[in-house]
Amino acid sequence: MSGRQRSWDMARWARPALSAFRPWGPAGWRSLYTEVTDVLGEGHQGPSPGRTDMVATSLWGVKKAPCAVELAVLNSGITGGRRPISFSASASSIFGRGGNSKKEKLFLQDIAELIQARACQRVVVMVGAGISTPSGIPDFRSPRSGLYSNLQQYDLPYPEAIFELTFFSHNPKPFFTLAKELYLRSYRPNVIHYFLRLLHDKGLLLRLYTQNIDGLERVSGIPASKLVEAHGSFASATCTVCRRPFPGKDIWADVTVDRIPRCPVCTGVVKPDIVFFGEALPQRFLMHVVDFPMADMLLILGTSLEVEPFASLSEAVQSSVPRLLINRDLVGPFAWRPRSRDVVQLGDVVHGVERLVELLGWTEELQDLIQQETEKVQTVKQGPLKGCLPHCSGVWVHLMWSPGWVKSDKNS
From the number of C-beta atoms within 10 Å of its C-beta (0-12, 13-18, 19+), residue 158 rates as: exposed
Q: Looking at 90-231, which runs of residues are DSSP E strands? A: 123-127, 205-210, 227-229
Helix (H, G, I), strand (E, B) or coil at 239: strand
Does the annotation flag 239 for ligand binding? yes
CB 292 within 8 A of CB 317: yes
- Residue among 193, 200, 231, 398 flagged as catalytic: 231
Peptide bond into 309 cis (omega under 30): yes
CB 306 within 8 A of CB 412: yes
Does the annotation flag 242 for ligand binding? yes
CB 180 within 8 A of CB 258: yes
Q: What residue type is assigned to position 239 of the chain? A: C
Of the candidates 125, 124, 35, 395, which has an alpha carbon nearest to the alpha carbon of residue 233?
395
Helices 25-40 and 3-21 cross at an angle (nearest 10°) of 140
Q: Does residue 231 carry a catalytic annotation?
A: yes
Does the annotation flag 388 for ligand binding? no
What's the CA gap between 173 and 178, in Å, rounded?
Answer: 9
Does the annotation flag 120 for ligand binding? no
Rg (CA), the chain: 22
Binding site as annotated, residues? 239, 242, 263, 266
Binding site as annotated, residues for Zn(2+)? 239, 242, 263, 266
**Residues that are catalytic:** 231
